[in-house]
Structure 1
Amino acid sequence: MNNANAKWVSLVGRVLLGVLFVLSGFGKLGNWEPTVALMTSQGLPLANLLLAGAAASELAGGLSLLLGYRTRWGALLLAALLVPISLTMHAFWTQTGEAHQMHLIHFLKNLSIIGGLLAQSIAGPGALSLDARREQRHPATASPLPQHA
């Protein structure tokens, strides 16, 4: 793929991942009590605190991806967030029937998203990002994470 196409593909992929998390974060804020009730029903302690952390992480990480600002860290934050969410909220192995199938699909979807986020953390933000603009202006502030070769 040539550089002109790569920068647009990178942008679209990053934005699609970011939108997912920004919408999810706002969704949690807008449905606070039902989400706390769901988390409590799954046996999670301190559901209000956990939900606040999840919503803040989704908003911060999602905006990081959308803007291409500190993209690698935002992607890693979101990947790390999805691991406990997947294990606690989509524990398909504890379900039967339709619930088993639904949670299996959500669990596998989350694994796929984690894969995309890990790839994003390695590939970096791409040319159309705030990170790229910052690196052009101030090369000394580049991300300490390894650059894609």
Structure 2
Amino acid sequence: MKDIIDLLGRVFLSAMFLYEAYDSIYYFQRTKNTMTEYGITWNQDMLLSGAIFLLLVGGIMLLIGYRVTLASIFLLIYYVPITFIIHSWWNKPVPLQREIAIDFMQNMAIVGGLLLLIGRGSGRYSIKRLFATTRVPRKYR
């Protein structure tokens, strides 16, 4: 049961990151406009392309269970700074602070999930495990 829960956790986490990558690609210009609203004006194309790369590669690696620690680090490199920039509830007016603080805490929970993956690994159902347990027939070695 633990192995299935590990797999489902990876699938749900990766789905979020892969969707975010898709959304950033599909709405590239709108995403750049949002970056400008939050004061991220330095080399937007490079930053957005780098974010999309981290989201896609990290999300796919997480989904298939290959090098989950590296994938989690990729996603943390993206997610931690974005969380502190976008959901900085302490800089918002008092009526909005509660709502934005909830979003901030949700993102911190996702960061916690990625840290758990770094500590626990990919689990039994992963490409890494499949490669480690598959034997190549003698005639193909």
C-alpha distance in structure 1 between counterparts of 2:97 and 2:46, whole Å: 28
* Greater Cα offset, 30-39 or 88-97: 88-97
Give the number of aligned pairs. 134
- How do 1:12-51 residues align onto structure 2 when only pairs under 5 Å count? 12-44=8-40, 45-51=42-48
In structure 1, the residue matched to 2:56 is: 59
C-alpha distance in structure 2 between counterparts of 1:80 and 1:71, whole Å: 14
Equivalent in 2, 7, 12 of residue 11 of structure 1: 7
Greater Cα radius of gyration, structure 1 or 2: 2
Amino acid at match of 1:128: Y
Identity of aligned residues (%): 29
C-alpha distance in structure 2 between counterparts of 1:39 and 1:100, whole Å: 20
Map Cα deviations across residues 113-132 of structure 1 (whole Å, 9 max, x no partner). Answer: 00000101111111110011
Moved over 6 A (4+): none
Flag structure 1 segments of 5+ consecutive residues without an equivalent.
139-149
C-alpha distance in structure 2 between counterparts of 1:27 and 1:101, whole Å: 26
Equivalent in 106, 126, 131 of residue 134 of structure 1: 131
Contact 1:39/1:89 (<8 A) preserved: no
C-alpha distance in structure 2 between counterparts of 1:118 and 1:47, whole Å: 28
Equivalent in 67, 71, 79 of residue 68 of structure 2: 71
Amino acid at match of 1:129: S
Q: Secondary structure at the match of 2:53?
A: helix
Alpha-carbon offset, residue 97 of structure 1: 4.3
Flag structure 2 segments of 5+ consecutive residues without an equivalent.
136-141
Amino acid at match of 2:29: E
Normalised to the residue count of structure 2, the TM-score between the two structures is 0.88
In structure 1, the residue matched to 2:114 is: 117
- What is the root-mean-square deviation of aligned Cα atoms in Å? 1.5
Alpha-carbon offset, residue 98 of structure 1: 4.7
Contact 1:71/1:131 (<8 A) preserved: no
